[in-house]
Amino acid sequence: MEVQLGEYHTVNDTDCVFEKGIQECSDPVRDYTVNKTIIHRYYTKRTRKNDIALIRLNGRITYSDYIRPICLPLPGTKFANIGDTMTISGWGIVNYKGTSATIKKRILAELISNEDCRERTKSFVREVTDDMLCTVTFNNSNEQSCSGDGGGPVMVSNKLQWHQEGIVSFGIFICGSKYPEIHTRVEKYLEWIEENTEP
């Protein structure tokens, strides 16, 4: 298994943007093999509880303008509040025909309360627990969360730094669906992450 870092557009060898006659290209994509995968021991596929895993890569990651770490939330620190705009990225399908994204999707969604989420999803979700968080994609968003976006980050920007509040987990991943999407709440797993992270 391999992981690609720095990818934005899968069709092009190099990702470039053109602005005012100037071309700026990203660094080449970097491939890393996976050394180890750790899945939460209490993960339950049926309910999606504890839907979190860690991947340890072979080799040291070199950061650049296009490959950067993301901050995890500190215990008790809130960077996102109900009603805030969250950013989700993923490579899921982009239409009803099942076409996969060739350009990384940037989905804007509203963070909603778990109570609201339970009410909106009670017909198909057994339980929305405190270790989950929910979003609803904005009506005017150019991108929609669809099948294949699972495992992607749910992020919020604070003082020019991205913080990962959640991990895309499950929902009715039909393109254009107005049902909430349910994510793993990263803050609830900080201790588990620390226990399973090697220096």
CATH number at residue 101: 2.40.10.10
pLDDT at residue 6 in the model = 57
127 pLDDT tier (thresholds 50, 70, 90): confident
In a domain, 24, yes or no: yes
Q: Evaluate if residue 70 carries a pLDDT over 70.
A: yes
**Rounded distance, CA 103 to CA 9, Å?**
4
* Domain identity same for 110 and 151: yes
CA atoms within 13 A on the CB side of 127: 9
* Domain identity same for 99 and 51: no
User: Cβ(73)–Cβ(79) under 8 Å?
Assistant: yes
* Domain identity same for 64 and 117: no
In a domain, 175, yes or no: yes
pLDDT at residue 190 in the model = 94
170 pLDDT tier (thresholds 50, 70, 90): confident
With tokens 């804007």, the residue in question is 108
In a domain, 112, yes or no: yes
**C-alpha dihedral, 26 to 28 to 34 to 40, nearest 10°:** 10
Number of domains in the chain: 2
164 pLDDT tier (thresholds 50, 70, 90): very high
**Rounded distance, CA 199 to CA 3, Å?**
20
* Domain identity same for 26 and 96: no
Instruction: Give me the domain span that covers residue 160.
Output: 85-188
* Domain identity same for 40 and 91: no
In a domain, 79, yes or no: no
* Domain identity same for 64 and 89: no
In a domain, 101, yes or no: yes
Q: Evaluate if residue 107 carries a pLDDT over 90.
A: no
pLDDT at residue 142 in the model = 56
In a domain, 181, yes or no: yes
The reported pTM is 0.83
For the segment 30-51, the average pLDDT, to the nearest whole number, is: 90
Alpha helices in the chain (DSSP H): 114-121, 190-195
pLDDT at residue 189 in the model = 96
In a domain, 143, yes or no: yes
* Domain identity same for 22 and 101: no
* Domain identity same for 9 and 58: yes
Q: Evaluate if residue 118 carries a pLDDT over 80.
A: yes
Strands (E) across the chain are located at: 2-5, 16-19, 22-25, 30-39, 53-57, 85-90, 105-112, 132-137, 153-158, 161-171, 181-185
**C-alpha dihedral, 144 to 167 to 8 to 72, nearest 10°:** 130
* Domain identity same for 164 and 94: yes
* Domain identity same for 104 and 40: no
